[in-house]
Structure 1
Amino acid sequence: MHPSHHQPPFTSQDNELLTRLASQDFELARYAAVLASSDDSIITMSPDGRITDWNAAAERLYGYPREEVLGQQLDVLVTNGDGGVRAVLDTVLAGDRATVETVHLRSDGAMLHTSVSLSAIVDVDGQVIGIAAVARDISDYKVRETELHQESKLESLGRLSAGLAHEINTPIQYVGDNARFLEEAYQELIRVVEVYRGLLDTSNPIGWVERQERVREVEAGIDFDYLEKEIPSAVEQTLEGIERVSRIVRAMKTFSHPGHQEQVPADLNEAVAATVTVTRHQISDVADVTMELADLPPVLCNIADLNQVFLNLIVNAADAIEETGRRGAITVTTALDGDDVIVCISDTGGGISDDVRAKIFDPFFTTKDVGRGSGQGLPLARGVVQEGHGGTLTLESVLGQGTTFTVRLPIDGRPTDVPAERGA
Structure 2
Amino acid sequence: MNIQPNIPSSILLQPDPNNAVEAIAPQPTNKAFRIGVLARRGISRTLQLWQPTADYLSNQLGHTFTITPLDFKQINPSVANGEVDFIVANSSLYIEFETLYGIKRLATLKRARRGKDYTVFGGVIFRRSDRQDIQTLQDLIGKNFAGANEKSLGAWQAAWREFHALGIDPRRDFLSLQFTGTHDAVVYAVRDRLVDAGSVHTDTLEQMALEGKIHLEDFEIINQQTQYGEEFPFALSTRLYPELPFAACRQVNNDISEQVAIALFQMNKLAPEVALAANSQGWTIPLSYASVHECLRELRLGIYAGKNELDFDLAVQGSNNGWWDWNIENNQTFYSTRWKEMLGYAEDEIANNISEWEQRIHPDDRNLCLETLQNYLQGKIPEYQLEHRLQHKDGSYRWIISRGKILRDIHGQPYRMAGSHADITKRRLAEDALRDSESRLKEQTLKLEKALQDLQETQTQLIQTEKMSSLGQLVAGIAHEINNPVNFIHGNVNCAHDYIDNLISLLNLYRQTYPQPAPEIIAKSEEIDLEFLLSDLPQLLKSMQVGTERIAKIVLSLRSFSRLDEADRKAVDIHAGIDDTLLILQYNLKAKGNASKVNVIKDYGDLPLVECYAGQLNQVFMNILSNAIDAFPKESENPTIRIKTELNGDRAIISISDNGTGMNSNVQKSLFNPFFTTKPVGQGTGLGLAISYQIVVEKHGGTLQCQSELDKGTEFRIEIPVNATM
Q: Same fold (TM over 0.5)?
A: yes
2:645 aligns with 334
Tell me, yes or no, if structure 1 residue 16 matches structure 2 residue 390: yes
Aligned to 1:344: 655
User: In the superposition, relative to structure 1, how do residues 37 and 273 fare at CA in structure 2: closer, same or farther (>3 Å)?
Assistant: closer
1:288 touches 1:330 (CA, 8 Å); kept in 2?
yes
For residue 632 of structure 2, the aligned residue among 296, 321, 326 is 321
**Residue 633 of structure 2 aligns to which amino acid in structure 1?**
E
Given the superposition, is the C-alpha separation of residues 230 and 367 from structure 1 closer, same or farther in structure 2, using an over 3 Å criterion? same
Instruction: Kindly state the Cα deviation for residue 353 of structure 1 after the two structures are TM-superposed.
Output: 2.2
Is 1:292 the counterpart of 2:292 in the alignment?
no
Q: Tell me, yes or no, if structure 1 residue 244 matches structure 2 residue 550.
A: yes
Q: Are 1:279 and 2:619 counterparts?
A: no
* CA shift for structure 1 position 389: 1.0
CA contact (8 A) 1:259 1:302 kept: no
2:711 matched residue in structure 1: 400
1:367 CA displacement: 1.5
Q: For residues 452 and 618 of structure 2, what CA distance do their matches in structure 1 show?
A: 30
Alpha-carbon distance between aligned partners in 2 of 1:364 and 1:378, rounded to the nearest angstrom: 9
1:147 matched residue in structure 2: 462
Q: Give 5+ residue unaligned stretches, structure 1.
A: 1-5, 43-114, 117-133, 200-207, 417-424
**What is residue 84 of structure 1 aligned with on the other side?**
none
Quote the residue 2:699 is aligned against: 388
Could you tell me how far apart the structure 2 residues matched to 1:353 and 1:220 are?
A: 74
| Cα gap change, 1:37 to 1:357, in 2 (>3 Å) | closer
Name the SS of the counterpart of 1:322 in structure 2. Answer: coil
Q: Using the TM superposition, name which of 234-243 and 301-310 deviates more.
A: 234-243
CA contact (8 A) 1:259 1:304 kept: no
Pair 1:268-2:574 in alignment: yes
How far off is 1:396 after superposition?
Answer: 2.6
Per the TM alignment, residue 324 of structure 1 is displaced from its structure 2 partner at its CA by 5.0
AA in 2 matched with 1:269: H
Paired amino acid for 1:411: V
Q: Provide the rounded CA distance (Å) in 1 between the counterparts of 2:627 and 2:504.
A: 55
Give the 3-state SS of the residue equivalent to 2:397 in structure 1.
Answer: helix
CA–CA separation in structure 2 for the residues paired with 1:389 and 1:155: 24
The yes-or-no answer on 1:218 pairing with 2:499 is no
Provide Cα deviations, 1:271-321, integer angstroms capped at 9, x if missing partner: 111001011112223412232322311111111111111001111110011
Q: Find 1:379's aligned residue among 676, 690, 696.
A: 690
1:359-374 equivalence runs, <5 A: 359-374=670-685
Distance 2:709 2:545 in 1: 44
CA distance in 2, matches of 1:218, 1:192: 15
TM-score (norm 1): 0.56
Alignment of 1:16-415 (within 5 A): 16-18=390-392, 20=397, 26=429, 30=433, 140-150=455-465, 189=503, 193=507, 196=510, 212-214=515-517, 217-218=520-521, 220-222=523-525, 223-258=529-564, 260-285=566-591, 286-322=597-633, 324-413=635-724, 415=725
- CA-CA distance at 1:136 after TM superposition: 6.2
Question: Do the aligned residues in 2 keep the contact of 1:323 with 1:349 (CA within 8 Å)?
Answer: no
Distance 2:439 2:692 in 1: 39
Q: In the alignment, is the contact (CA less than 8 A) between 2:460 and 2:687 conserved in 1?
A: no
Residue 27 of structure 1: CA displacement?
Answer: 8.1
User: CA separation in 1, counterparts of 2:550 and 2:561?
Assistant: 16
* CA offset digits 1:42-84 (Å, max 9, x no partner): 9xxxxxxxxxxxxxxxxxxxxxxxxxxxxxxxxxxxxxxxxxx
Q: 1:219 to 1:188 in 2, by over 3 A?
A: farther
The 1:318–1:193 alpha-carbon spacing in structure 2 relative to 1, beyond 3 Å, is: same
Q: Judge which range, 244-253 or 12-21, deviates more.
A: 12-21
Answer yes or no: is the 8 Å Cα contact 1:259–1:305 preserved in 2: no
Report how far residue 348 of structure 1 moved.
Answer: 2.0
Q: CA deviation at 1:225?
A: 2.4
Quick one: structure 1 residues 320 and 38, their matched pair in 2 at CA, closer, same or farther if it must change by over 3 Å?
closer
Provide, for residues 193-220 of structure 1, a one-character-per-residue CA deviation record: whole Å limited to 9, x for no partner: 59949x9xxxxxxxx9xx5544675355
Structure 2 unmatched runs, 5+: 1-344, 351-355, 361-388, 400-424, 592-596
Q: How many residues align?
A: 297
Root-mean-square deviation (Å): 4.8
User: In the aligned structure 2, how far is the partner of 1:303 from the partner of 1:347?
Assistant: 24
CA distance in 1, matches of 2:434, 2:633: 57
Matched residue of 1:409: which SS?
Answer: strand
The residue type equivalent to 1:272 in the other structure is I
* CA distance in 2: counterparts of 1:239 and 1:246, whole angstroms: 11
Shift of 1:191: 12
In structure 2, the partner of 1:101 is none
- Give the corresponding residue for 2:410: none
- Matched to 1:276, the amino acid is L
Larger radius of gyration: 2
**Conserved in 2, the CA contact under 8 Å of 1:385 and 1:409?**
yes
Q: Distance in 1 between matches of 2:431 and 2:506?
A: 108
Q: Structure 1 pair 214/323, CA: closer, same or farther in 2 (3 Å)?
A: closer
Q: Identity of counterpart residues, as a percentage?
A: 26
- The Cα shift of 1:407 comes to 0.8
Of 350-359 and 240-249, the range deviating more from structure 2: 350-359
Superposed CA offset, 1:359-396 (max 9, x none): 22222222212211111211221121111111111223
Q: Given that residues 701 and 720 in structure 2 are in contact (C-alpha distance below 8 angstroms), is that contact kept between their aligned partners in structure 1? A: yes
Go from structure 1 to structure 2 and tell me whether the alpha carbon gap of 1:136 and 1:351 turns closer, same or farther (over 3 Å shift). Answer: closer
CA contact (8 A) 2:676 2:687 kept: yes
